[in-house]
């Protein structure tokens, strides 16, 4: 569960016996906040992700995200520096200390270019997709699938090296579905955890007898994901991805 976290003074926190200074807020989502903090011991910047946990199930899901991070030591998967659970009255917060990546997300980069009426070059697209595939391969080799791959869940580090993040939706890559009840459970889970515009087709209407596997991640990289990072939300045969990338070329696992 990580070492106990305490607030030593305003703007200073301690995680696993190391102090960090609050610098500024970076962003927020539906149930989480991200702050920029600086390590007193090393002068490095970190991103502190604070996940709001309203009940035991929320705490379980937050710790699942921690466990997923702990599986990897790979240049294309975001590492977890430290974590802890903080009790706040009847609720809890899970605090995940992550590296601060100055490049921001892939989505930020695409939108910034779009504002200038510019696009990612073909070489840059392939370079980024290659790094994403290496990160996915690391995840798939551990027997898991990301399940929520999208431009906002990819950070661009030094030299455009992509880093997969937000591992909370990860689960076992191979899911055998036997029966209508299980099919509905998988479908409901996907509706909650997999962003609709990037969700693989087989997760919309799950068959009562099927196998869901890591190809849900591959589909994203060969369809809407590729077209979007190329700078167009609509399908177009003019995009380099449309004609140059096939599922077999991008697929990282057999």
Angle ∠(33,170,34) on CA atoms, nearest 5: 10
Catalytic hit among 55, 115, 148, 160: 148
Catalytic residue status for 158 = no
Q: Are residues 113 and 172 in the same domain?
A: yes
What's 16's domain CATH number?
A: 3.30.200.20
Query: Per the domain annotation, does 1 fall within a domain?
Result: no
- What does the mean pLDDT of the chain come to? 85
In this predicted structure, the answer to whether residue 146 has a pLDDT above a threshold of 90 is yes
> Using CA atoms, how far apart are residues 84 and 93, in angstroms rounded to an integer?
8
Strand, coil or helix: what is 166? Answer: coil
Check residues 253 and 123 and name the one with the higher pLDDT.
123
CA distances from 172 to 48, 89, 211, 213 (A): 27, 34, 12, 8
Of the listed ranges 16-20, 70-74, 87-91, 187-191, the least confidently predicted one is 87-91
Q: What is the pLDDT of residue 30?
A: 76
Structural domain harbouring 111: 106-250
How many domains is the chain built from? 2
Question: What residues contact 218, with CB distance under 8 A and at least 6 apart?
Answer: 136, 247, 250, 251, 252, 253
- The helix/strand count (H/E) of the chain reads as 8, 13
Reported confidence tier of residue 225, pLDDT bands at 50, 70, 90 = low
Helix axes 122-141, 215-222, angle to 10 degrees: 180
Say if residue 245's pLDDT is above 60. no
Same domain, 88 and 66: yes
Residue 166 has pLDDT above 50, yes or no: yes
The mean pLDDT of 201-225, rounded to a whole number, is 86
Q: Are residues 51 and 115 in the same domain?
A: no
134, burial (CB in 10 Å: exposed 0-12, middle 13-18, buried 19+): middle
The CATH number of the domain holding residue 124 is 1.10.510.10
- Statement to judge: residues 146 and 64 lie in one domain: no
185 within some domain: yes
Q: How high is the pLDDT of residue 230? A: 63
Q: Output the pTM of the full model.
A: 0.84
Residues 244 and 216 in one domain: yes
């Amino acid at each position: 569960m990580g070492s106990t976290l305490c607030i030593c003074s305003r703007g200073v926190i301690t995680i696993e016996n190391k102090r960090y200074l609050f610098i500024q807020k970076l962003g927020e989502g539906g149930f989480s906040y991200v702050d920029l903090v600086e390590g007193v011991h090393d002068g490095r910047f970190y991103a502190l992700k604070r996940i709001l946990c309203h009940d035991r199930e929320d705490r379980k899901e937050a710790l699942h995200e921690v466990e997923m991070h702990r599986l990897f030591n790979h240049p294309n998967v975001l590492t977890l520096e430290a974590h802890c659970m903080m009790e706040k009255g009847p609720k809890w917060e899970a605090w995940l200390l992550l590296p601060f990546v100055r490049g921001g997300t892939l989505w930020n980069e695409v939108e910034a270019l779009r504002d200038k009426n510019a696009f990612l070059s073909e070489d840059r697209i392939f370079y980024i997709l290659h790094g994403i595939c290496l990160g996915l391969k690391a995840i798939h080799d551990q027997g898991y699938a990301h399940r929520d791959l999208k431009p906002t869940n990819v950070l661009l580090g030094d030299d455009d090296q992509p880093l997969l993040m937000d591992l909370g939706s990860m689960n076992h890559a191979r899911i055998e579905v036997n029966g209508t009840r299980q099919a509905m459970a998988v479908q409901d889970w996907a509706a909650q955890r997999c962003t609709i515009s990037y969700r693989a087709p087989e997760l919309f209407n799950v068959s009562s007898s099927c196998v869901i596997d890591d190809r849900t991640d591959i589909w994203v990289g060969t369809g809407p994901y590729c077209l979007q990072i190329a700078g167009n939300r609509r399908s177009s045969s003019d995009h380099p991805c449309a004609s140059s990338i096939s599922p077999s070329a991008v697929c990282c696992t057999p």
